[in-house]
Amino acid sequence: MKTFLQYILILIIIAGCGSPTPDVQGVIQSEDLTKIRSARQQILLQYDALGESLKKLDEAISQLDSTTRVPLVTTFTVVDTVFNHFIDIQGNVETKQNIIIYPEYTGVLKKTWVKEGQQVSKGQLLAVIDDGGLAQQLQQAKTQAALSQTTFERQKRLWDQKIGSEIQFLQAKTNMEAQQELVNQLAAQLAKTQVKAPFSGVIDDVITDQGQVVMNGQSPLIRLVNMNDMYVKAEIPENYLVGIKLGNAVKLNIPSLGKNFDGTIRQVGNFINPNNRSFTVEITINSNDSDLKPNQIAKLLINDYTNPHALLIPENLIKETALGEKVVFVTKSGTAGNKTTVEEKKLTLGKTSGAFVEVLEGLTTGQIIVAEGSKALRDGQQVEIK
């Protein structure tokens, strides 16, 4: 009976609210723009007045009617915590010392002194190319150089005693220097017939077999790899440039090994690639794992942002209004079994990590927000905490 009387009261208020409703169809048919706008304004005023009246009546009903059911909700308490944001990027394992050695001399590959998988030291002899008689030419040049030096020394003694002409002295000197230069050139050419390791490492592949003719700078001989300085190289999108700094922590995963490693950024590129709007970073791998190989795929999580006092809430608790605003409902109490009212809070959001999002504005530490049951809530509504 009580509820029936309440609804009768609502109908009485609606019937007596403001001026009578205009004849909408008649106003439209009049095609009078002023009348149409006036009628619209009257209806809007009546609509607002009815809304306020209904709100007050709902509040009165909820307070007086003990049978009224309120939504059951769960809550989440906002606390500050350390927030680390990571960029998910893919890169490749590389090494600076991974080269194919080419000959500097054309000839027959006479002897290969190493095999695949062998550890070699810097300067160690790897292979020898047939010199085609260059060693004999060098020996002859050395003999001629020795003779020219003896001739010069005798001519110099005579010249010091003012015996002979100056031209004879200068010719002897020039001949000696020319012969010595020839010796140096032939020695340098002969040295190129010996292929030596430019750095310490492992022989990864012996490409050319003994007995084959190799061409200067064209025939690949041996691949040499140094596995002691492995790193990861990755291309980072330009929009992450501000957060990428030297020393940033990186979590590495090598899918082919099923292993995780820690790393740090050791170099940040200064050039933005115009083709893909990215820049290059190099990441040191803090491990000497022998299973790491050049060109392995690496999945990277790069720490580009840290907030030691961040407010994080589950992203699924945030609602979006018709205007695109991000909101949550805050309660005055979080005790189970208590009835309380909710207040809508507009949020300014930061970065997202997994299921959580950073709140920059709109909430403070210790506030209690509605978790489950917030879908149909409205500002000022009464709820009961589960």
Between residues 4 and 274, which one has the greater pLDDT?
Answer: 274
pLDDT at 67: 53
pLDDT at 219: 92
- Whether residue 69 has pLDDT greater than 80: no
Q: Of 43-57, 134-148, 208-222, 246-260, where does mean pLDDT reach its minimum?
A: 43-57
pLDDT at 10: 47
Share of the chain above pLDDT 90, in %: 49
Q: Residue 68: which pLDDT band, with cuts at 50, 70 and 90?
A: low
Between residues 370 and 49, which one has the greater pLDDT?
Answer: 370
- Whether residue 5 has pLDDT greater than 50: no
Between residues 70 and 280, which one has the greater pLDDT?
Answer: 280
- Whether residue 33 has pLDDT greater than 60: yes
pLDDT at 286: 85
pLDDT (tens digit per residue) in 296-313: 999 999 998 999 999 999
Highest-scoring range by mean pLDDT, 5-9, 11-15, 90-94, 151-155: 90-94
pLDDT at 178: 93
pLDDT at 221: 94
Q: Residue 39: which pLDDT band, with cuts at 50, 70 and 90?
A: confident
The mean per-residue pLDDT over the stretch 99-120 comes to 92
pLDDT (tens digit per residue) in 346-375: 999 999 888 899 999 999 999 999 888 777
pLDDT at 56: 79
pLDDT at 377: 81
Q: Which residue has the tokens 């205007």?
A: 323
Q: Residue 270: which pLDDT band, with cuts at 50, 70 and 90?
A: very high
SS3 for the chain is CHHHHHHHHHHHHHHCCCCCCCCHHHHHHHCCHHHHHHHHHHHHHHHHHHHHHHHHHHHHHHHHCCCCCCCEECEEECCEEEEEEEEEEEEEEEECCEEEECCCCCEEEEEECCCCCCEECCCCEEEEECCCCHHHHHHHHHHHHHHHHHHHHHHHHHHHCCCCCHHHHHHHHHHHHHHHHHHHHHHHHHHCCEEECCCCEEEEEECCCCCCEECCCCCCCEEEECCCCEEEEEEEEHHHHHHCCCCCEEEEEECCCCEEEEEEEEEECCCCECCCCEEEEEEEECCCCCCCCCCCEEEEEEEEEEEEEEEEEEHHHCEECCCCCEEEEEECCCCCCCEEEEEEEEEEEEEEECCEEEEEECCCCCCEEECCCCCCCCCCCEEEEC
Q: Residue 15: which pLDDT band, with cuts at 50, 70 and 90?
A: very low
pLDDT at 2: 43
Q: Residue 274: which pLDDT band, with cuts at 50, 70 and 90?
A: very high
Between residues 27 and 75, which one has the greater pLDDT?
Answer: 75
pLDDT at 174: 93
Q: Of 75-84, 158-167, 231-240, where does mean pLDDT reach its minimum?
A: 158-167
The mean per-residue pLDDT over the stretch 56-73 comes to 70
